[in-house]
Amino acid sequence: MDSENKKSMPTGEKKEVIFQGISGAPGICIGKAYMVGREGVDVIPQYTISQDQKTREITRFKTAVRTAKNELLEIIEATPEALKEHIQILETHLVLFKDKMLYGRTLEAIERENVNAEWALKNVVAEVRAMFQDIEDPYLQGRSTDIVHVSDRIMRNLVGAKEESISSISKRVILVASDISPAQTSQIQLEWVMGFVTDHGGTASHTSIIARTLGIPCVLGLGDATSSLHNDDIIIVDGIAGRVIVHPEDNTLLLYEEKKRRFEEHRASISRSSHLPAISADGMEFQVLGNIELAEEVVSVRDHGGNGIGLLRTEFLYLSRNNFPGETELFEQYREVLELMAPAPVTFRTLDINGDKAISYTLTPEEANPALGLRAIRFCLKKKEVFKTQLRAILRAAAYGNAQIMFPMISCLEEVREARKLLRACAKELAGEEKRHNPEIPVGIMIEVPSAVVMADVLAREVDFFSIGTNDLVQYLLAIDRGNPQVAHLYNSLNPAVLRMLKRIVDEADKAGISVAMCGEMAGDPFHLPVLMGLGIRELSMNPQSIPAIKDMIRNMEGHECRLFTESLLEKSQTQEVMDAISLKYGKFMQTDFV
């Protein structure tokens, strides 16, 4: 904390309040709150317009869009060097200014409903929010806010409201807002901004990604907590635990000053050694890789010591647009990732859309239970031309780096064989067209459906590797909807049934002589690491920021000891027994409180 804040800090004047949110980026900061966007444009006028006034309203709307677009272009031009790699996010917003879902629907609403531009835009955005409200996937939740951010900028121009410029901040503060747009986060100057907290957003939102890139603490998903904060309130942002403390008492301040010091010492220590191999104390070598969505995150994987990319989610290029991307666009993006990461491997997960990753232009019927419907490999095998476009792009890009491909949500042998047949057909087409490509790309599947576990022995003979997606696999195995607060507490990756299932996957992969990796959230959690090492999973893929801590922990543990320990866990019948045993045996390796 800055000395200037220490001097003016009120102690005992107001009651300490603690808000629990989501950790967007780890770290701790203590300082004064700086409220962003408190005024907003929530009060929107509504009035009926005549036929003669429609042209005027349409012109007003188009002018507001044009002005907003020019404002964003200026922000892109002025983006600090530290965030240049994230410009693609803002360029996506530029495309959205003319997106049919936002621009086209608003013009139609003015014409059809005889209302002013502000009201038409407000109603269209409300419809868009409703479309996305049931999406469970945090990555898609983050992307769905893009339209809202763009519409806010247009609305400000329509009503004449001025947006607060974060770039003009000239004192050490912690940003507090209902939400912070990518355009706003791109203006952050590390000299003045220590961290930020928001009511909305999640771990996969652009806000969170940028916070991790900048290395500043961030807590998101606070609900409406920020409405009770004011400028210059003293707050503590605990990005490790996802906690915000307002009006901290003296003893809390002392505790967190020490916690902050220990965390920064720990982070500096593991960062210095993040480039070292992940070799256990008894000589077992592990590959620790990164999960990414955006090409810009390759830098983060490399900076944090990642051995490659174990999961490249390819959905981003299919979102926030009104048609499917073409082969050339996909090829150029994939090639960029491979060249940036070379010679390290990059594993492309083929398109996993629909279900909770629906896009508006697919024209597929609405499903009562999309999580179990036409999604991932099922969608791709039904929309073969869309799938082949992606497969061709991956094969072409594979000539420029170390690429692997894996198919998501495989539930049976037939799906694997049909997908591989299409891949071979694409390679044959490219050869006939004399286009440079790599037809020998390794092919794997994601194990995230219980039926794939049951058939693991058969599936292992058809592919080059398994990658375990624990997020869906645990949910499907336990029949628990993680998004349902009534049962979410029952979701636990250390359930004995999950451990036995993971052992079967590893055993069948070993018998077939293929590698097995894990790319679900379980892979990046230090509490799970002894179990994963004990099961014999040698490749772990995770959020890039988790890589240094996991590599450091691997170097301090013995693989053989983990294996014996995990064998004892497989005999246990209750989740709590498993968790207690891990805490007792390996708690000393999991420094999370830093006090």
Closest alpha carbon to 206 in 34, 35, 330, 86:
86
Is residue 509 a contact partner of residue 466, using CB atoms and an 8 Å limit? yes
* DSSP secondary structure, 159-188, as one string: HTPPPP-GGG--S-EEEEES---HHHHTT-
Q: What is the spatial distance between Cα 498 and Cα 474, in angstroms, rounded to a whole number?
A: 7
Provide the token pair at 71.
Answer: 């404002």
Residue 137 pLDDT greater than 70, yes or no: no
Q: How sure is the predictor about 142, in pLDDT bands with cuts at 50, 70 and 90?
A: low
E strand or H helix that includes residue 509: helix 496-512
Closest alpha carbon to 291 in 309, 316, 306, 317:
309
Kindly report, residue by residue over 516-530, the tens digit of the pLDDT.
Answer: 999 988 998 889 999
pLDDT at 166: 74
Per-residue pLDDT, averaged over 25-50, amounts to 77
Q: C-alpha distances in angstroms, 56 versus 68, 107, 127? A: 18, 12, 24
Q: What is the spatial distance between Cα 549 and Cα 591, in angstroms, rounded to a whole number?
A: 10
Ramachandran bin of 368, using left for φ above 0, alpha for ψ from -120 to 50, beta for the remaining angles: alpha
298 in helix, strand or coil? helix
494 in helix, strand or coil? coil
Q: How sure is the predictor about 22, in pLDDT bands with cuts at 50, 70 and 90?
A: confident
pLDDT at 10: 45
Please report the beta strands in 488-563, taking only residues with DSSP state E, as ranges in sequence order: 515-518, 539-542
Q: What is the spatial distance between Cα 409 and Cα 467, in angstroms, rounded to a whole number?
A: 11
Cis omega (within 30 of 0) for bond into 365? no
Q: C-alpha distances in angstroms, 216 versus 191, 374, 581? A: 11, 39, 34
Closest alpha carbon to 305 in 552, 548, 44, 56:
548
Per-residue pLDDT, averaged over 334-348, amounts to 96
Give start and end residues of each alpha helix (H) in 114-217. 117-132, 138-159, 182-185, 206-214
Is residue 545 a contact partner of residue 25, using CB atoms and an 8 Å limit? yes
Provide the b/e sequence for 227-254 (b: ≥16 CB within 10 Å). eebeeebbbbbbbbebbbbbbbeeebbe
More confident residue, 447 or 121: 447
pLDDT at 158: 84
Q: What is the spatial distance between Cα 50 and Cα 28, in angstroms, rounded to a whole number?
A: 56
Q: What is the spatial distance between Cα 265 and Cα 209, in angstroms, rounded to a whole number?
A: 23
Q: C-alpha distances in angstroms, 29 versus 55, 214, 236, 440, 578? A: 51, 14, 6, 49, 34
Q: What is the spatial distance between Cα 221 and Cα 297, in angstroms, rounded to a whole number?
A: 22
Query: What is the residue type of 529?
Result: L
The CA-based angle 115-118-123, given to 5 degrees, is 75
Q: How sure is the predictor about 252, in pLDDT bands with cuts at 50, 70 and 90?
A: very high
Query: What is the residue type of 177?
Result: A
E strand or H helix that includes residue 20: strand 17-20
Active-site residue list: 206, 519
Q: How sure is the predictor about 162, in pLDDT bands with cuts at 50, 70 and 90?
A: low
Kindly report, residue by residue over 362-406, the tens digit of the pLDDT.
Answer: 545 555 566 677 888 999 999 999 999 999 999 999 999 999 999
Q: What is the spatial distance between Cα 280 and Cα 272, in angstroms, rounded to a whole number?
A: 18
pLDDT at 140: 53
More confident residue, 267 or 284: 284
Residue 551 pLDDT greater than 90, yes or no: yes
Residue 585 pLDDT greater than 50, yes or no: yes
User: Taking the CB of residue 476, how many other CB atoms lie within 10 A of it?
Assistant: 19
Residue 357 pLDDT greater than 50, yes or no: no
pLDDT at 168: 74
36 in helix, strand or coil? coil
Residue 144 pLDDT greater than 80, yes or no: no
Closest alpha carbon to 304 in 267, 335, 356, 332:
267
Rounded to the nearest 10 degrees, what angle do helices 54-78 and 138-159 cross at?
A: 120
Q: What is the spatial distance between Cα 420 and Cα 404, in angstroms, rounded to a whole number?
A: 13
Give start and end residues of each alpha helix (H) in 383-467. 384-397, 413-432, 450-454, 456-460
E strand or H helix that includes residue 407: strand 402-407
